[in-house]
Structure 1
Amino acid sequence: MPGKRARPVLRGPRRSNAPGLPDEIWFGIITRQAIRRGTFTSVTRLTRAINDYVTAWNTDARPFVWTATPDEILAKVRWVHTQVRKLLTNNDK
């Protein structure tokens, strides 16, 4: 039809980044637990609700603690490397 613009067609999942990135997870949590549960009459009230939620979230913050030793991690990397080499060798046959 003349004069009408074509609409973009989106097919399949996004490929620009990996699913489940930490920022996507965080925004999903804050959206479900703070934003969708409220009614906001202004951007200021929405911003205040987000800031209050982040403050409450951070009151129980704990640092990340590694549970594996460097030797355990390197052993796992070596094991995976060996398994991948086996797969590649079997694939060449």
Structure 2
Amino acid sequence: MLDLYERLWEGEPLGPDDYVISADEKSQLQALERRHPDLDCAPGRTRRVEFEYQRHGTLAYMGAYDVHHGRLIGTIAEKTGIVPFEELVTKVMTTEPYASARRVFWVVDNGSSHRGQPSIDPMTNAWPTATLVHLPVHASWLNQIEVVFSIIARKAIRPVNFADLDELAERLRGFETRYNEDPRPFNWTFTRSDLLALCERIEARQRTLAA
């Protein structure tokens, strides 16, 4: 996966028509409506947000991030699952330039929507140019879509104040449109060598503690 971030696959450079997609689901996005409107910032006063709210349900945002071009493609569902993930894959794989790509690599974690070999075979059968690449367990922090989700949380969701689920969905779609107006890939610097060095330090620390 880290090789893919450096545009390598099995020791060979990726071509111009190869793409790397980082994908995952952001579940349990709540549509909370505050009892009273927010008070904006003023001289000597920070923004104030009402602490009482009504719950209007939750949505899931399925995100696919083009690692090397900075583009974001998403879908919205009532909840996460195999079918919503397949809908995201279909949306990406039928959109140019991915529809005409030689290869599209999908970097995913081990969530239930796309876990293990049972997720690889259906995807390969449906989309022969797609390759599903699973992160190691407990390594979601290496998935670039998680960075995008943190931006969504800070820039589009907080402070949470939505009258209903439609308003929340509209905000998510609007953010995606705005994000793609000036797409910029992340300056990812953590490489395979960095990961191996980290593992060596952890192992050395464990040996010291066990001695």
TM-score bracket for this pair, using the shorter chain length? 0.3 to 0.5
TM-score for the superposition, normalised by structure 1:
0.46
TM-score for the superposition, normalised by structure 2:
0.22
Query: Which structure's residues are more often helix, by fraction?
Result: 1
